[in-house]
């Protein structure tokens, strides 16, 4: 029994919006890039812990399609940091049986980042443990646009009838094809918005918000979020549980 919970009480897929790197640094009179570097250390601890818990998938909102609007110096630093992270963590990824998956558009990402990402994806493709999904150059609306284009091309080519388009066809055309939808979405820094993240996939996801900035997020905070999730009743629109409670009262 992990965390005092039965295995079926654990979320299969955890998604995290890692927010507050810049504010963490500002409160310490440090440059924003120092917050990003500290945030990368938090990633390592969370990934390792999820792998040990037997979580099936962990999706990290690392760099959105809108983040290109940030100052060039900060964007350049982040791209360098991603390359460094992929190189530095490759051994840990392999040791913990983690499989790396990229979610997002490749177009626009530096060749150096794509090279290191492709290397890690290739080396870890046969790993059977945690699927670490790095949402890099990701936007949910962009993802849906790409899915619609993919489906439209299939219909155009005669491989799919338009009347056969259903939720499964759409889900299988998203970047997350083959992954379970997130059970738990964690957002740090006390922000209470979705920010164009996994809009299709989080229809019935439980949301946990913490006031802590991402560089402060640690294993105990992750455990707290998981216990919070385990204590919730998930009905997916069904009223049977509510009706049963009413009959008992």
- Catalytic positions: 19, 67
SS (H, E, C) 191-216: CCCCCCCCCCCCCCCEEEECCCCHHH
**In what helix (H) or strand (E) does residue 187 lie, and over which residues does it extend?**
strand 184-187
Question: What are the structure tokens assigned to 133, written together?
Answer: 């999904």
CA distance 142 to 144: 5
Host H or E run for residue 185: strand 184-187
- The DSSP bridge pattern shows strands 184-187 and 13-17 to be parallel
Q: Rounded CA gap, 140 and 174, in Å?
A: 9
Is the distance from CB of 208 to CB of 229 less than 8 angstroms?
yes
Contact (CB, 8 A) for 64 and 196: yes
Report yes or no: 97 and 85 within 8 Å, Cβ to Cβ.
no
CA distances from 248 to 123, 131, 232 (A): 54, 41, 19
């Amino acid at each position: 029994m992990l965390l005092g919970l039965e295995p079926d009480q654990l979320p299969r897929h955890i998604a995290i919006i890692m927010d507050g790197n810049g504010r963490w640094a500002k409160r310490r009179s440090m440059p924003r890039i120092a917050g990003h570097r500290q945030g990368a250390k938090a990633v390592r601890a969370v990934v390792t812990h999820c792998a040990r818990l037997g979580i099936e998938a962990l999706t990290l909102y690392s760099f959105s399609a809108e983040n290109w609007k940030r100052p060039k110096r900060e964007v350049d630093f982040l791209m360098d940091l991603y390359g460094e992270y992929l190189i530095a963590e490759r051994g840990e990824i392999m040791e913990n049986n983690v499989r790396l998956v990229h979610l997002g558009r490749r177009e626009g990402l530096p060749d150096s980042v794509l090279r290191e990402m492709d290397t890690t994806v290739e080396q870890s493709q046969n790993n059977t443990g945690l699927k670490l999904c790095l949402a890099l150059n990701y936007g949910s609306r962009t993802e849906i646009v790409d899915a619609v284009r993919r489906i439209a091309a299939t219909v155009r080519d005669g491989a799919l009838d338009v009347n056969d388009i259903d939720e499964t066809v759409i889900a299988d055309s998203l970047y997350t094809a083959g992954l379970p939808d997130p059970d738990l979405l964690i957002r740090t820094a006390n922000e209470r918005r979705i920010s164009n993240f996994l809009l299709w996939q989080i229809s019935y996801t439980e949301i946990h918000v913490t006031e802590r900035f991402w560089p402060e997020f640690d294993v105990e905070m992750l455990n707290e979020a998981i216990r919070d999730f385990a204590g919730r009743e998930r009905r997916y629109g069904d009223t049977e549980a509510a009706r049963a409670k009413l009959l008992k009262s």
